Amino acid sequence: MANHSTTTASTEAHGSPAEHHAAPTALGLDAPAWIAMAMLAVFAILLWKRVPALIGAALDKKIAGIREQLDEAARLRAEAEAIKAEYEARAAQADAEAATMLARAQTEAEGIVRQAEADAAALVERRAKMAEDKIAAAERTALDEVRAKVAQAATAAAEALLRDKVDAKADKAMVDAAIADLGKR
C-alpha cells in the first residue's frame, strides 16, 4: 500500500488525475494471503504425512551409520596400534638377539685368535727345536766325519811312519815289551 500511495501522491503532484487500481482478490483474499494459505497447507500435509519424523529417522539412521564407521575406525586403529606395538617389541627383541649374537661371535673370534696365536707360537717353537736338532745332528755328523777322517789320516800316517822306521828287529822288541807289559798286570 505504501507503494500505491506514493504513486498517487506523485501523480497528484504532477497535476494528472489520480488513477486508483484495485488489487485482484479471490474470496476476499489477495495474492500474499493466498501464498500464505498455500504454505500453511503444504506444512500441514508435511506434518500429516510425518515428513519431519521421516527426515529425523533418516538422519538418525545416517548418524548411526557414521557412529558405526567411527567405532570401526577406532577398533581398526586399536588393532593397528597393537600390531605396531607387537612388531616394535619383536624388532627390539631381534635387535637384542643380534647384539647378543654379535657379542658372542666377537668373544669366539677373540678366543680363536688367541688359540691361533698360541698354536702359531707352539709351531714356531717346534720348528725352531727341530731346526736346532737338525743343526746339532749335522754338527755331530760333521764332527764324526772329521774325526773319522782324522783317525784315517792318523792311521795312515802312523802306518807310513811305522813302515819307514820300524823294521823286523824293532818289531820284535815292541812285541816283547807288550808281552812283558801284559804279564805285569
92-111 average pLDDT score = 94
pLDDT band at residue 18, thresholds of 50, 70 and 90?
Answer: low
162-176 average pLDDT score = 74
Any domain includes 66: yes
Domain that holds residue 39: 31-145
pLDDT of residue 16: 52
Number of domains in the chain: 1
pTM of the model as a whole? 0.37
Among 55-59, 85-89, 171-175, which stretch is predicted with the lowest mean pLDDT?
171-175
Which three three-digit cell numbers place residue 29? 483474499
Among 25-39, 53-67, 125-139, which stretch is predicted with the lowest mean pLDDT?
25-39
Any domain includes 55: yes
Among 25-29, 62-66, 104-108, 130-134, which stretch is predicted with the lowest mean pLDDT?
25-29
Residue 40 above 70 pLDDT? yes
Residue 1 above 50 pLDDT? no
pLDDT of residue 7: 47
Any domain includes 3: no
Rounded to 10 degrees, what is the CA torsion of 71, 72, 76, 79? Answer: 70
Which DSSP string corresponds to 105-166?
A: HHHHHHHHHHHHHHHHHHHHHHHHHHHHHHHHHHHHHHHHHHHHHHHHHHHHHHHHHHHHH-
Any domain includes 25: no
